[in-house]
Amino acid sequence: MLSRLPLNTGNYHQTIAYVYNHKVVHNPDAMRIRLLSLLTLFLLAAPVVFSQNDAFTDGMSWVNSGYTMSQQSPDFNGTNCQNIHYTLSTTSSLGFYYDPVLVNGTGAVFPALSANSGTTMDITITFNTPVSNFGMRILDLDEDNQGDAGAPEEYLDNVSPPPASIQLLNGVNPLFINGSTITSDDGNNSNPNNNPGAWVYWAGEVTTITFTYNRFGEEYEFVIDSIHFECPCVSEPFDFFDDATICEGTSTTLDATTANATYQWSNGATTPTISVTTPGTYWVNAFVGNCPKTDTAVISLIVVPDLQLGNDTTLCEGSTLVLNANPAVNPIVWQDGSSSQQYNVTASGTYIATGTFNSCPVRDTVIVTLVPYPVVNLGSDQSICEGTALTLDITQPGCSYLWSNGNTTPVQSFSTAGLIWGRASLGSCATTDSLLLTLLTLPPDPLPNDTIICQGDTVHLQLENNGTIAYEWYNGSTESEISCWEAGFYWVESTQNGCSRIDTFNLALYPALTDFFSYDSLLTICEDKNALIGPSVTSPLISVIWADGHTSSLISINDAGVYQFTVSTPCEEETHTITVTEERCFCSVYLPNTFTPDNNDVNELFVTQYDCPFDSFELVVFNRWGEIVFSTTDPDLAWDGTYQGKTVQDGTYVYKLTYISTEMATYKELLGHVNVLR
């Protein structure tokens, strides 16, 4: 079909005239000039540049007899370079002529008459439309033929627009550009009589080139040998292939086979044919020589509707799956040859529907797998005791699960009364079962709260005895009551309606005062010194109250006197006194009677407190068997309540402190006890 879309654009460069710089040689038999036509290429979307150089020939109908002068060349209108026209002309009566047999080649020679010295000629090259990459090859623009010390004999000036660059012909005999002047003069008088020449190029687009030829001697000419410019190709539509419509999943072949051609397809292929599987617009350039033949085809796609049989699926045993084929596709043929739009499935298998849509085949397949229903049996309704749980298991291979409490694991435990259900699903096939769960009430707690009694007292534990509750005690007794008088833990298991619970009772005894506290009844303190006095109490069940109302076991005093305190439990009470005397001393030494190394950062160490230096010092601590558990001669070294790396037992330890103070210079010995409590 004919092209409907623009494709690649080609431009054709053609060099039209050669320029040689030489002495004039008259040839009356060769007064004609001919320009080779520029080839016209297809107008395509992206430029493709071609170029060619040709000498002047008689293609422009130059006069071919005698010595004929011309002021304007015939109009060039090449058959290949369509609609491009140009002429060479001058306003000078000296004119120019075409010489095909010059020493260095063909060319247009300016001026035609060489007998006049001091010649100037205005020369114009005119195009009917702007062209780009214009170039002109100039020869024989001599600089110094008369030996006038470098004065130029020939040059071009007033060149408009000014040229952009020069390309030498062979690296020697150069021409030079100086603004709008072209000359062989390099300023050093170094290029005389050596036939200079070069390609001169203009930048951008040009329509008209004008310049003035200047000559200051006789029988000297210059030659325009060639011109060069771009010529666009003209599109040549060609009928290679037609528009086509294809079905989904099929293809069509576009064939542009042409003898001696190279190919450029819109998809980048360079083969004579391409296979098309997707819709779109496709074009081809088939190049035979420089310019292509082109064609375009629009490929449309028939969108085939889905038969809508759905995805592969499962079918529960005993159920029917109805397959409904898309009514837009008709007729329908199923795998068994039936032709209804619907097909009822009751067994596992592969089900296939085929049909046509706008002559395109349509096919859909669905695989159906028959699945048995899972077996779920939670059993009958059940009762459980409060505080226990009922565990149910519905595990089956390949199933998913859902319970009434929202959990999705196959095994679940329930401890709340109510309706319980569980569901096992295999694909879309699900089975659910349920039961009613009832909670049975536990027997009430039969034992009272833990308590403390005095030594020698008895606690009677009396339990409910209504005939419905059975008891079993820690000692095997099944009676409903028991008496306790020893400290310890007591337990009983009670059972009612098949539900049992165990209750415990802790009985403690108040300590005997004489066993759990001690004190020094006589103490001596230094005048004007504070001291701590009081009993050492080793049971938290014993309370202490001083005559002044203090309730701590130790009080701070700084005066001599008799201090009274009472120790008591709910079972007994004793009142005691501590007599404190004062002595005048310059050194106060104090050791506490209790410390608690229990790692709570309070009263952790047994350490000497003093306010004077010592000449000698020794502290020794003994246990109840007379073993030394701690000794030091350093008054600042404390006992942490350990012996041989192990913690000592709680209890009372005796200490002996001997020292000589620097102030008193007298020997002192103190005996006392310290209580270790945790």
pLDDT the model gives residue 235: 58
- In this predicted model, which residue has the larger pLDDT, 571 or 104? 571
Q: Which of 411-425, 456-470, 565-579 has the lowest mean pLDDT?
A: 456-470
Residue 143, token pair as written in the block: 């600089």
For the chain, state the CA radius of gyration. Answer: 64
Q: Which residue has the higher pLDDT, 188 or 613?
A: 613
The three-state secondary structure class of 60 is helix
Tokens 């007298």, residue located: 666
Q: Are 468 and 496 in contact (CB under 8 A)?
A: yes
Q: Where are the beta strands (DSSP E) in 133-261?
A: 135-139, 154-160, 165-168, 176-178, 181-183, 197-201, 205-215, 222-232, 236-237, 244-247, 252-255
Question: What CA–CA distance (Å, rounded) separates 412 from 188?
Answer: 111
Which among 197, 224, 21, 17 is positioned nearest to 104, based on CA atoms?
21
Q: What is the pLDDT of residues 372-429, one digit of tens each?
A: 889 999 999 999 998 889 999 999 998 999 999 999 999 999 999 999 999 999 888 8
Q: Quote the mean pLDDT of the chain.
A: 81
Q: What is the pTM of this model?
A: 0.36
Q: How far is CA 158 from the centre of its chain?
A: 67
Q: pLDDT grade, residue 152 (50/70/90)?
A: low
Average pLDDT for 487-500: 89
Q: Is 513 helix (H, G, I), strand (E, B) or coil?
A: helix
pLDDT of amino acid 636: 93
d(CA 348, CA 488): 74
Q: Whole-angstrom Cα distance, residue 585 to residue 265?
A: 122
Using CA atoms, how far apart are residues 264 and 292, in angstroms rounded to an integer? 9
C-alpha distance from residue 634 to each of 49, 606, 607, 619, 647 (Å): 110, 13, 10, 8, 22
Q: Which residues pair with 362 in a beta bridge?
A: 355
Q: In the predicted model, is pLDDT for residue 613 greater than 60?
A: yes
CB atoms within 10 A of CB 268: 7
CA distance 302 to 311: 24
pLDDT at 565: 93
Largest CA distance in the chain: 167
Residue 131: band (very low, low, confident or very high) from pLDDT cuts 50, 70, 90: confident
Q: Which carries the bigger pLDDT value, residue 288 or residue 266?
A: 266
Q: What is the bridge-based pairing of β-strands 244-247 and 573-583? A: unpaired
Q: What's the pLDDT tens digit per position in 35-48?
A: 222 222 222 223 33
Q: Please list, in sequence order, all residues whose beta carbon lies within 8 angstroms of the beta carbon of residue 82, skipping any fewer than 6 positions away.
A: 40, 234
pLDDT average, residue stretch 235-260 = 88
